[in-house]
A = this chain, B = another copy of it.
Amino acid sequence: MVQRVIEGITILFELLVKFVLSVQKGDSHHDNKEDSYGLSWRLAVETNNVRGWKTVPHKCYKHVEKYMSGGQYELDLKLIVDQIIEYASQISVASDGFDAWILDVDDTCISNISYYKAMRFGCEAFDSSKFKAWIMKGMCPANGAVLGLFNKLIERGFKVFFLTGRDQATHLQITAHNLHTQGFIGYQRLILRSGEDKGKSAVRYKSRIRKELEEEGYRIWGNVGDQWSDLQGECLGKRTFKLPNPMYYIS
C-alpha cells in the first residue's frame, strides 16, 4: 500500500516538473526570438545602418523596455563615458581657455526616459505638443555618468558648450533651470536653436554652430551625443562619441 502511494506521488511530481519546464521553455523560446530581433534592430540603429525611423517597431517594445529599464542602458552608458574620460585625461589643456567640448542635452546630459516610458519607449508616434509640455516641467533627471564626465571636464579646465535642438524662444529658461537643478554648473554656453536655424536639419544647424565656435578660436576636442546627427557634418571635433538611444531618431 505505502509503496503504491509513493509510486503514485512520484509520477505526479514528475508530470508536474515536466509541465512547468515545458511552459518555461515555450515562453523563453518566444521571448528569445523577440529579444534576438530587438538586439539586431538596436545594433543596426546604434551603428546608423537603420536611418530615418519614425517609431520603434512594435515587436521590439519588450526588448527596448527591458534595455532602458533593466540596467543595461546605464551599463552601456558607463562604459562609453569611461572611454571618454580616458581620452579626455590624455589631453593637455592650454591656458588660453580655448579647449572645448560639445555636449548634446536631451538624452545625453539629461534624460527623457520617464517621458518615453509613457510613450511605450518610442513605439508610439512622436507627439510634439506632449513632448514640449514635458520639457516645460523642467524635470529631466541628469544622466549620472554624463554628469560625472561634465564635472571632470570642468575640473580639467575645458570649456563645455551645450548644443541642443530645443527652441530658443520657448525653452531657453526652462532648459537652463533644468540643467542647473541637475548639477550642470560652470559651463561656458548653452546654445539652443534660434529663428535663423528653424527648419534646418540637426546636422546643418549643429555644424553651423560648431563652425562658429571654431572661428571664435575654440579647439573642439570631443563631441558627445545620443544622435548620429550630433556627430555628422562639419567641424565635428577631434573625436565623437555616440551614446545609446533606441527610443527615437532625429535627422
Distance in Å from the Cβ of A90 to the closest Cβ of chain B? Answer: 12
A164-B140 Cα distance, complex, nearest whole Å: 47
A83-B47 Cα distance, complex, nearest whole Å: 12
Q: Does A2 sit at the interface, judged by CB under 8 A?
A: yes
A43-B74 Cα distance, complex, nearest whole Å: 13
Q: Specify the main secondary structure of chain A where it touches its partner.
A: helix
Chain B residues with CB below 8 A from A131, complex form: none
A72 to B5, Cβ gap below 8 A?
A: no
Q: Does A169 sit at the interface, judged by CB under 8 A?
A: no
A79 to B6, Cβ gap below 8 A?
A: no
A72 to B241, Cβ gap below 8 A?
A: no
Segment with Cβ contacts to B, from A33-41, A100-108, A180-188, A197-205: A33-41
A72 to B2, Cβ gap below 8 A?
A: no
On whether A44 and B76 interact (CB within 8 A), knowing A49-B241, A241-B49, A242-B49, the answer reads yes
Q: Give residues of chain A (47-83) contacting chain B, Cβ–Cβ below 8 Å.
A: 47-50, 71-72, 75-76, 78-80, 83
Distance in Å from the Cβ of A230 to the closest Cβ of chain B? Answer: 13
Chain B residues with CB below 8 A from A242, complex form: 47-49
A75 to B44, Cβ gap below 8 A?
A: no
Chain B residues with CB below 8 A from A75, complex form: 36-37, 39-40
For chain A, which range describes its interface: under 10, 10 to 19, 20 to 34, or 35 or more residues?
A: 20 to 34
Q: Does A46 sit at the interface, judged by CB under 8 A?
A: yes
Q: Does A13 sit at the interface, judged by CB under 8 A?
A: yes
A2-B40 Cα distance, complex, nearest whole Å: 57
Q: Does A244 sit at the interface, judged by CB under 8 A?
A: yes
A50-B79 Cα distance, complex, nearest whole Å: 9
A79 to B44, Cβ gap below 8 A?
A: yes
Could you give, for residues 1-14 of chain A, a 1 whenever the CB lies within 8 Å of some chain B CB and a 0 otherwise?
11001100110010
Could you list 30 A-B pairs, sorted by A, with CB under 8 Å? A1-B2, A2-B5, A6-B9, A9-B9, A36-B71, A36-B72, A36-B75, A37-B75, A37-B79, A39-B72, A39-B76, A40-B72, A40-B75, A40-B76, A40-B78, A41-B79, A43-B43, A43-B76, A44-B76, A44-B79, A44-B80, A44-B83, A46-B47, A47-B47, A47-B80, A47-B242, A49-B83, A49-B84, A49-B241, A50-B83
With A40-B78, A40-B79, A44-B79 already in contact, 8 other A-B pairs whose C-beta atoms are closer than 8 Å: A9-B9, A36-B72, A37-B75, A37-B79, A43-B46, A47-B47, A48-B242, A49-B83
